[in-house]
Structure 1
Amino acid sequence: MKTLLQINPVLRVSTSTGRIMQEIGELAMQNGWQSYIAYSRGRDGIKPCSSKLVPVGSKWSVAWHGLETRLFDRHGLASSFATRQFIRQIERIQPDVIHIHNIHGYFLNYRILFEYLSKCNIPVVWTVHDCWLYTGHCYYYSYVNCNRWQDGCGECPQRKEFPASLWIDRSRQNYLDKKEAFTSMPQDKLVIVPVSDWIRSEMQKSFFCGYNFRVIHNGINTEVFRVYDAQ
């Protein structure tokens, strides 16, 4: 039996990524797979879910991660202990595929996680719901018509937007840290799944340009939503 492990900070189905993740897990189980879901213990709590749950961190580690983000603009670079514990869980589960949704959410240290993922020989699918993974700070830059992510960020115009930093602008170093961590993944072990053609076209201008992209749009319930001819 094959095993799928998904990663996302929120689990509850009232969130878009939580619902998508749970539905993927249910579909995997219907096709004979085991399904595990890793989520932030400090942000989401345990909710009804048919997949096996892997809570990561604690309310304390999430709070500390939030403090480092607000004071030092180090989002994604705290939670070291929680991430090492999670890696031990991955080694116990031995998944055949790891499916990442979001890792920004005050619960994982991406540098530690990708140091492991780049060497463990497990195929990784990364569904891209926003732009955080290839910018130095923001998760959407179209609000302010900013293209600094194409040449390394710095002097971020959205420093005080999620994930907000109150004083320090570390966007240039964050960009370099992400580039080093994420591109450490072997290109034959990472498939990037943007949820729109627009995100794919943007990412192809980023440091992910050498990776394999496959656009999969978010699904809709066709029993509720229909296409009507314009009158």
Structure 2
Amino acid sequence: MIDSNYSNKCMWQINSYNFASTGNIMIGISEVARARGWKVYTSCPAARTMYQHKLKDHIYIGSILSRSIHRLISNYTGIHGIGSYFATKRFLSKVERTKPKVIHLHNLHGSYIHLPLLFRFIKSHPDIQVVWTLHDCWAFTGNCPHFIMLDCEQWKTQCRQCAYEGYPKGRIDQTSKMYKFKKRWFTGCRNLTIVTPSKWLANLTKQSFLSEYPVTVIYNGINTEIFSPGYPDIRNKYGIEMSKFIILGVSFSWGYRKGLDVFLKLASLLPNEFQIILVGISEEQKSDLPGNMITIPKTNNLEELAAIYSSADVFLNPTREDNFPTVNLEALACGVPVLTFDTGGSPEAINQNTGMIVNENNLSEVLQSLKTHNFKKSDCITRGREFAAEKKYLEYINLYNDLLREKG
């Protein structure tokens, strides 16, 4: 139900999902904002997976049919964000009726909203403050969400043919056109503020065509009530000797980008007193891993995951391409120091008392750090609690209020 009479502190949030990582951030911000007197509407595309989540004041954009047609357009033309024209017009008419003070954008990729219409609306309503959280690099590239592993700098001037596969990849490579379209669509807003979850991404944004906008950093947060120490040790459950030093890795999609190869090399080099545990390994991958590694399937049980973190001696995150991985925060909050490559925003989670940063692909540095690390559990817990989700969501509310005050 749209309340057209509510215009005091009304906000809309738009994202490609209403669940998972970015969806949970959108919902978390909404709950904290409502508790502080805001009227909040959240929006995402219509899909069967989205309908499973019953949310307050949640408005779907278009229908399953309109999104399917939008995806077909994207796939066959290679041009993304030009479908769902009428669905977007209907959606924006709902937004306008509520006279919002703030529109908060999250992920806009996913073939569900007509991007030229959306940004035409934003540019024609300079009284509405717009906050856009970039969860990856997609907003200022022709196609890809990340380019570090490709060692590509085309995004600084003009993207051309893209070597990145499937994000989304159309049947025709229109990367060059998409770069020009995005630059035209996304620039020229008088009322837009960009938020990035890491200083690393903020620095990249300031080098892109989005550099005309103010950029602020608000780190992602975690549930520190769940991710905390005090869970039973899992060593007995998995038959691990109490004297062994546990090296833990957690990912929901293992591969070279997440550093699976690093764990494989370590498994062949480390002496018997070390035990590697990997969470999130698929059944197909499990058969290719050495027998001295313990693998645990992906789990949606956060208490179980927290117990696994709490039992580890060190959390190893050899990611080669990440914005600001929350797995680092979860480990810290459970009292576990973090060892990570100096890539992306991953090092920003730790300080000198809570972890180690090594050069990318330097296995000898990893081995040396594993054998010499000495960190206090209490320091890790304190650091992890700095990223409590509600604290981070409050930073967004403070940002909205600051923007409205500046507008006068």
Q: Same fold (TM over 0.5)?
A: yes
1:47 is the counterpart of 2:49: no
SS at match of 1:155: coil
1:162 is the counterpart of 2:167: yes
SS at match of 2:149: helix
Q: How do 1:77-116 and structure 2 match up within 5 A?
A: 77-116=82-121
Q: How do 1:11-26 and structure 2 match up within 5 A?
A: 11-12=18-19, 15-26=20-31
Q: Which residue of 2 aligns with 1:145?
A: 151
Identify if the C-alpha distance between structure 1 residues 118 and 46 changes in structure 2 by more than 3 Å, giving closer, same or farther. Answer: farther
Aligned positions, number: 224
For the residues of structure 2 that align with 1:156 and 1:6, how far apart are their CA atoms? 30
Q: Which residue of 1 aligns with 2:185?
A: 181
Shift of 1:46: 5.0
Cα-to-partner distance string for 1:184-217 (whole Å, 9 max, x where unaligned): 211xx11100111111111111011121010001
Give the unaligned 5+ runs of structure 1.
Answer: none
Contact 1:115–1:184 (CA<8 Å) still a contact in 2? no
Contact 1:114–1:184 (CA<8 Å) still a contact in 2? no
Larger radius of gyration: 2
* Matched AA of 2:82: L
SS at match of 1:35: strand
**Which of the numbers 31, 36, 39 marks the counterpart of 1:31?**
36
Give the unaligned 5+ runs of structure 2.
Answer: 1-7, 228-332, 338-353, 355-372, 375-408
In angstroms, what is the RMSD of aligned CA positions? Answer: 1.5
For the residues of structure 1 that align with 2:211 and 2:16, how far apart are their CA atoms? 26
Q: Which has the higher contact order (CA 8 A, sep 6+)?
A: 1
Q: Which residue of 2 aligns with 1:219?
A: 221
1:127 is the counterpart of 2:133: yes
Percent of aligned positions that are identical: 35
Q: Which residue of 2 aligns with 1:4?
A: 11
SS at match of 1:4: strand
Shift of 1:222: 2.9
For the residues of structure 1 that align with 2:185 and 2:217, how far apart are their CA atoms? 23
Q: TM-score, structure 1 length as denominator? A: 0.92
* Matched AA of 1:100: L
Contact 1:191–1:213 (CA<8 Å) still a contact in 2? yes
Q: Which residue of 2 aligns with 1:199?
A: 201
Shift of 1:48: 2.2
For the residues of structure 2 that align with 1:143 and 1:71, how far apart are their CA atoms? 27
Contact 1:148–1:154 (CA<8 Å) still a contact in 2? yes
For the residues of structure 1 that align with 2:132 and 2:334, how far apart are their CA atoms? 29
* Matched AA of 1:2: K
